[in-house]
Amino acid sequence: MNPAAMEDQRPILIIRLMSKRRTWVCFFVIVYTILLYSSWSLLYSIVSWYRSNVSSSKAPESGGWPALYASMLLGFAFGLLSMVAALAVAIPAMLVTWIAVLVLLAFCGRRRRDLVVEGKKLSAEIVGFVIKILIREGNVVAAVCAVVGYFMLVHGGGNQQAVN
């Protein structure tokens, strides 16, 4: 096979690869892993704060408040991380949707001036819709992580090896 034919195949291979759902799932997992790894010190400081609070106050009147605060912070951190990771996947999808609708409007015979106006409206609608979904999904992840974090901290918080 000659080099010119190989160069023609590269864009097709990239397009085929990016059109697979598996690729986007892997991309989401990779972005989420990078974000989690980079914010590991924040998560570790929350758990360390909880450990120091629990070890310093053995009094029963503190109840589960330190665990509640720590679990809320962990839930917030994981919710925010999931929203950022989902945004990394949503941006290409938003662009494809935006371009497809504008091309369809252009084929319907709209003038360029009308396309610019419709493009601005469309951009605002798509961004608003995506932000609503991201906030909803982030809140769900935050709530689930907060509940799971609370039970893990309460039931395994005294055990130093359970958190490590």
Q: Which of 43, 40, 135 is nearest to 80 (CA)?
A: 135
Using alpha carbons, list the distances in angstroms from residue 145 to 12, 45, 105, 123, 138.
Answer: 40, 17, 43, 32, 10
Phi-psi region of 146 (alpha: psi -120 to 50; beta: other; left: phi over 0): alpha
Residue 104: its pLDDT value, please?
86
Burial of 87 (0-12, 13-18, 19+ CB in 10 A): middle
pTM of the model: 0.62
> Which residues of the chain have a pLDDT value below 70?
1-21, 57-63, 157-164
Residue 59: its pLDDT value, please?
56
Distance separating alpha carbons of residues 134 and 142, to the nearest angstrom: 12
Helix 65-107 to helix 40-56 angle (10° resolution) is 160
- In the chain, DSSP finds a helix count (H) and a strand count (E) of 6, 0
Residue 164: its pLDDT value, please?
45
Residue 40: its pLDDT value, please?
82
pLDDT of 112-155, one tens digit each? Answer: 888 888 888 888 898 898 889 889 988 898 899 888 888 888 87
Q: Which residue shows structure tokens 């106050």?
A: 57
